[in-house]
Structure 1
Amino acid sequence: MGEVVKDLTAGTVGGAAQLVCGHPFDTIKVKLQSQPNPLPGQPPKFSGAIDAVKQTLAAEGAGGLYKGMGAPLATVAAFNAVLFAVRGQMETLLRSQPGAPLTVGQQVICGAGAGVAVSFLACPTELIKCRLQAQSAMGDSGSVGATVKYGGPLDVAKQVLRSEGGTRGLFKGLVPTMAREIPGNAALFGAYEALKQFFAGGQDTSGLGRGSLIVAGGLAGAAFWASVYPTDVVKSVIQVDDYKNPKFSGSIDAFRKILASEGVKGLYRGFGPAMARSVPANAACFLAYEVTRSSLG
């Protein structure tokens, strides 16, 4: 079996594991990121992550935590297959000879290159996911389920294509998506390789056990979000912004307005759920990837 096929297959399995473990955390993150600023003297819709979970469960049941999962589930195969396959091909290009281990710096370069490729898949998927996750949080007040604009992932796509500039509308937020994926994946794969080499005591990491891979994958996921979280907040607010009456003219405008109205803490709304998600989700992703790829020979 070719190396590209192995990466495609293992990346698909890893992505599915990541999605199942992490999506409820991601839903809460997006709700916190996209909730409207409260009126003077009024409390915010969600006081924090736990409150957002409670309100979502009360109004929508457990299924509410998996809202918007259809879009990433439909594309998770393509997304993670491309991510790991591009990374694998860049590894091949950077190796001094076949089978030679790469340095941490070279893995950073591989991660950045993979980030460029997956940005074009991530942007429309994220837009659909964020619209579905955020629509209840975008309501003025009252119950979480008060505002229902979209019936599902396909409905989001249809409405955007019909009334938000066609295909271009699905790529709203591409710039902040790239600003997240490129440095984020550089940090992800760089940290993963650094941790594996630390645990192995050298560049040969082939003998590492599953426990070490789980820890390395989990901490690498934390490195991703710690390095790019404010960019993700900007991406989310841009993607859920109203097309006809936008609050923001672009990414820089969104960044400035969030800082002006909420300070630095506004750029870290939902950071807790994001970090809580990143560790188990990426641990599951990397473990599933490594085990699957190893089983393919």
Structure 2
Amino acid sequence: MADVAKDLTAGTIGGAAQLVVGHPFDTIKVKLQSQPAPLPGQPPKYAGAMDAVKQTISAEGPRGLYKGMGAPLATVAAFNAVLFTVRGQMESLLRSEPGAPLSVNQQVVCGAGAGVAVSFLACPTELIKCRLQAQSALAGSGSSSTAVKYSGPMDVAKHVMRSEGGLRGLYKGLVPTLGREVPGNAVMFGVYEAIKQFIAGGADTSSLGRGSLMAAGGLAGAAFWAFVYPTDVIKSVLQVDDHRNPKFSGSIDAFRKISSSEGVKGLYRGFGPAMARSVPANAACFLAYEMTRASLG
């Protein structure tokens, strides 16, 4: 139980650091992902990431870059506590003896298991976040869903529970969320361990400094998004889709329609901001986690 409490605490602090550093990048990513396809001969609402930043600040001020932060901030403790605690418990199960370092392959297994657990927390949280972040991008698209103007995270949750099938509505997009979190965390924790062992020159990574931990964490986060990004696009478009007049019947249908209308490029909308976010945000997360965990003994 002592190890569980330490992982809970360290995971919470790591997640808070990740959120503060990375949320503005995430807002731009979701805006680019969820903007409606332009009419023939018309330009898209946002020409790119920097244009989305300029339009957001112009229309909503700097606070617009932190729109939707309330939902993940309210659940960041639970999300990262589960992620790092499940990973820690799986590490204990896979160790040959207490304190023994794990191989990269074993960390991949631990990451996948943690990804399953966090998916059930991530799905409703991200649905709320995406609805808030995408409001301005969807404005004027002609979808009836744009008539709904949410005042905040609780307003989104109440509206979804009332009009979209209760609790089931909050879990719209669960399949692509699992498709992102399970392989994504497997890759992230595997890459994190591999880079640490490479820098340390062996399996014992306990003496690594802050710079090495940040480098490993940042590159691990980049690996996460590089590996699963199209799944995240599908998740986002499903979660902001109008439930009364849906464009997509499910994950496969979304994949086919996006690929057909926009090609492979459509599956990588917002990739730049996602990658720009992943390195500093995950560097902050892993550093905060490792430093907090070490200070707790």
TM above 0.5, yes or no, is yes
Number of paired residues?
A: 293
Match of 1:44 in 2: 44
Q: Does 2:260 match 1:257?
A: no
Cα displacement string for residues 77-100 of structure 1 (whole angstroms, at most 9, x for unaligned residues): 000000000000000000011110
* Aligned twin of 2:295: 295
Once the two structures are superposed, the pairs formed by residues 78-227 of structure 1 within 5 Å of their partners are 78-140=78-140, 149-227=149-227
3-state SS of paired residue (2:121) = helix
Q: Give the Cα–Cα distance (whole angstroms) in 2 for the partners of residues 127 and 2 of structure 1.
A: 33
- Give the structure 1 partner of residue 19 of structure 2: 19
C-alpha RMSD over aligned residues: 1.0
Q: Secondary structure at the match of 1:136?
A: helix
Distance 1:93 1:296 in 2: 21
Alignment of 1:219-258 (within 5 A): 219-258=219-258
Q: Distance in 1 between matches of 2:229 and 2:75?
A: 22
Q: CA deviation at 1:147?
A: 7.0
- Would you say the 8 A contact 1:138–1:147 is kept in 2? no
Measure the CA separation in 1 of the matches of 2:136 and 2:169.
21
Q: Structure 2, unaligned stretches of length 5 or more?
A: none
Cα distance in structure 1, aligned partners of 2:81 and 2:175: 22
Distance 1:118 1:292, change over 3 A: same
Aligned to 2:253, the other structure's residue is in SS state: helix
**CA-CA distance at 1:41 after TM superposition:** 1.0
Instruction: Percent identity, please.
Output: 83
Unaligned runs of 5+ in 1: none
Residues 234-255 of structure 1: per-residue CA shift (max 9 Å, x gap): 0000000001000000000000
Distance 2:287 2:158 in 1: 36
CA-CA distance at 1:126 after TM superposition: 0.4
Inter-partner Cα distance in structure 2 for 1:107 and 1:250: 32
Cα distance in 1 for partners of 2:211, 2:55 equals: 35
What's the secondary structure of 2:172's corresponding residue?
A: coil
Cα deviation, 1:150-176, whole Å, max 9, x if unaligned, reads: 110000000000000000000000000
Q: Report the TM-score when normalising by structure 1.
A: 0.97
SS at match of 2:284: helix
| Contact 1:172–1:239, Cα closer than 8 Å, also in 2 | yes
User: Is the 8 Å Cα contact of residues 123 and 177 (structure 1) preserved in structure 2?
Assistant: yes
Q: Distance in 1 between matches of 2:85 and 2:129?
A: 24
Question: Residue 76 of structure 1 corresponds to which residue in structure 2?
Answer: 76
Contact 1:216–1:283 (Cα < 8 Å) also in 2: yes
Distance 2:11 2:242 in 1: 34
Amino acid at match of 1:206: S
State the distance in 1 between where 2:188 and 2:42 align. Answer: 39
Taking structure 2 as the reference length, what is the TM-score of the superposition? 0.97
Is residue 91–residue 107 contact of structure 1 (8 Å, CA) maintained in 2? yes
**Deviation string for 1:110-143 (max 9, x for gaps)?**
00000000000000000000000001100127xx
Distance in 1 between residues matched to 2:15 and 2:44, nearest whole Å: 34
**Residue 198 of structure 1: CA displacement?**
0.3
Cα distance in 1 for residues equivalent to 2:242 and 2:148: 15
- TM-superposed CA distance for 1:148, in Å, is 6.2
Question: CA–CA distance in 2 between the matches of 1:205 and 1:242?
Answer: 48
Secondary structure (helix, strand or coil) at the match of 1:247 reads coil
Distance, in Å, in 2 between the alignment partners of 1:232 and 1:218 is 19
